[in-house]
Amino acid sequence: MNMTPSLDNLFERRLSFPDPLARQRLAALVGLDGHKQRLIKILSLLINPEGLRKWAQAYHPHFNGSLNSILRRPPLVLLAGDVGSGKTELAETIGDEVARQENIDVTLFPLSLATRGQGRVGEMTQLISAAFDHTVTEASKLKAATGKSRGGIILLVDEADALAQSREAAHMHHEDRAGVNAFIRGVDRIGNGALPAAVIMCTNRLGALDPALRRRAAEILQFQRPDGAQRHAVLSPTLTGLGFSAAQIEQVVTATGPAAGIPYGCTFSDLTQRLLPAIILDAYPTKAVTAARAVDIAKAIVPTPPFQEKSA
């Protein structure tokens, strides 16, 4: 007998915004300002369409056209690109800024990879359907007949290609195809219901996603590993606090870029989770950090290789 999966089976955790920690994490994502602002605008319109109507009244009071072409955009955003480029961190924290801008509470439901199930017939489809059932139920409670939404829901799907691979792949199992169908139906349910909810999908393999999902995306934001200016923005605050000069900071920035034999530089996560901690831990607890040693450590860091998308 089928039983409705528990929330713990469907979602890794539930996060509510606004949240001070999420705001700090979002602020730490330097070098992604363009993606931040674009995603905030898209999610704000999907979750609280009243904001667009207020904008039209304020700036185009004589506008007689329909805003439906904007308001009826599919409730799906794809974040795609290189590993360690900030996709997941942005997706996990962007709800805080949306909540603050729209002055509403926003809840994040991060879909668990356990949603793939254990391979039993119909299990994956049941789990995905249940996740969207819960999302739709919670979003329906927040929908206002007129005026401002009472809140918003963001359903986050990380490593989306693990759940929504293209049904055109010859090796795809029929159960996986059924799961993708359930996912597409779920996105359509949110859109057709004009609910205050949005789905964010993160993937390193955009080409592996089902074409029907890519077509439904209101926006596809591409992420690359940081260039020199972005690496400088990430490293400069910490290194300045450690007493490095501008020239010394630039030496570390250069050392984290492409080099002979390695045509790619460090990812955002390489810089924040590997390099900066390594520089500090190298000196702790008996000596001060020095620029010369920091440059040596930076040169020794091997950047995470880019994800190689294999053809089906």
Please say if the pLDDT value at position 168 is more than 70: no
Q: Look at residue 144 and give its three-state secondary structure.
A: coil
For 303, residues 6+ apart whose C-beta sits below 8 A from its C-beta are 225, 256, 262, 264, 265, 266, 267, 270
Q: Which residue has the tokens 């008996």?
A: 286
Asked if 95 contacts 40 with a C-beta cutoff of 8 angstroms, the reply is no
Pairing of strands 152-157, 219-223: unpaired
Pairing of strands 106-110, 15-17: antiparallel
Cα separation, 222 vs 86, in Å, equals 11
Cα separation, 116 vs 127, in Å, equals 8
Cα 126 from chain centroid (whole Å): 25
Which architecture characterizes domain 7-223 according to CATH?
3-Layer(aba) Sandwich (3.40)
Helix axes 276-283, 291-300, angle to 10 degrees: 130
Mean pLDDT of 131-155: 91
DSSP 207: G
Min mean pLDDT across 98-107, 124-133, 164-173, 257-266 is at 164-173
How does pLDDT run across 184-193, given as a tens digit for each residue? 999 999 999 9
Asked if 49 contacts 71 with a C-beta cutoff of 8 angstroms, the reply is yes
How does pLDDT run across 270-283, given as a tens digit for each residue? 999 999 999 999 99
Domain boundaries, the chain: 7-223, 228-300
Q: What is the mean pLDDT of the chain?
A: 88
Instruction: Pick 149 or 311 by higher pLDDT.
Output: 149
pTM: 0.87
Return the pLDDT at 123: 74
Cα separation, 161 vs 204, in Å, equals 8
Cα separation, 7 vs 11, in Å, equals 6
